[in-house]
Amino acid sequence: MAQRLADGENRRFNPDWTTKIFCHEVKGKPICLICNNSVAINKVANVKRHYTLNHPDYDRRFPPGIARRQEQLDRLATQANGQMSMMRGATSLQQRAATADYEVCFKIAKAMAPYSHSELFKKCMVSAVQALYPEKLNIQQTFQSVLLSRNTCARQIEAIANHVTEGVVYNLNSFELFSVAVNESTDINDVAQLSVFVRYYLNKFSEDLAAVILLTERTTG
């Protein structure tokens, strides 16, 4: 079946959000100055929802229109700028190590392997490079710098999933029409789920998994 998308949604960052909702823009994405978390979609409703749900007492502590609110905003903005400067100053080795983190975690996610396998993978990787290049301590240190703990792997995979979801949503909002197909599937515990696939044309026909929804009722019929 085909569905028409809503038109007229503003995807641009509004500078007024900084003073009203404590949010600034980083590389085209709205970032909360209070908790440094990003908002998935650049829409005023999403930014306001994050502010009201996660920081409900901020307007009481720093009421609009008073000097104390502006002082708090300036302090948070200074902290954010300092953090961004530190990130920009990261060495190329750190950047490559971060890329390696995501590459390995992406492979683990595609293989549907347990997150704890990332720690085993790093041990194997370090042991292999130590055996292959025993005299190359810099290479060994490079492999040691790759962060692949279970918790890190979970965060990286969640970030990858959010990025993929945002990409699918962006593609769908580029077209007026797309087709949707649904099918029942089960997870490793044999729990019924509804898989939602979307198909659209972007230079070529593309098909993406839009959502997997847990089915709590009966699946017959």
pLDDT 10s digits, 14-59: 888 888 888 888 877 888 888 888 887 777 888 888 888 888 888 8
- 52 and 97 part of one domain: no
Instruction: Judge whether 127 lies within some domain.
Output: yes
State the Cα–Cα distance between residues 162 and 31, nearest whole angstrom: 15
Instruction: Judge whether 83 lies within some domain.
Output: yes
151-169 mean pLDDT: 81
Residue 55 near residue 34, CB atoms below 8 Å: yes
- 112 and 182 part of one domain: no
pLDDT tens for each residue of 85-140: 555 545 566 777 778 888 888 888 888 888 888 888 888 888 888 888 888 877 77
What residue numbers bound the domain in which 187 lies? Answer: 177-221
Of 57, 88, 119, which residue is a domain's last?
88
- 81 and 19 part of one domain: yes
**Global pTM?**
0.46
Q: How many domains does the structure of the chain reveal?
A: 3
- 110 and 141 part of one domain: yes
Instruction: Judge whether 169 lies within some domain.
Output: no
pLDDT tens for each residue of 177-214: 778 888 887 777 777 888 888 887 766 777 887 778 88
- For residue 3, what pLDDT is reported? 37
Residue 198 near residue 178, CB atoms below 8 Å: yes
- 133 and 84 part of one domain: no
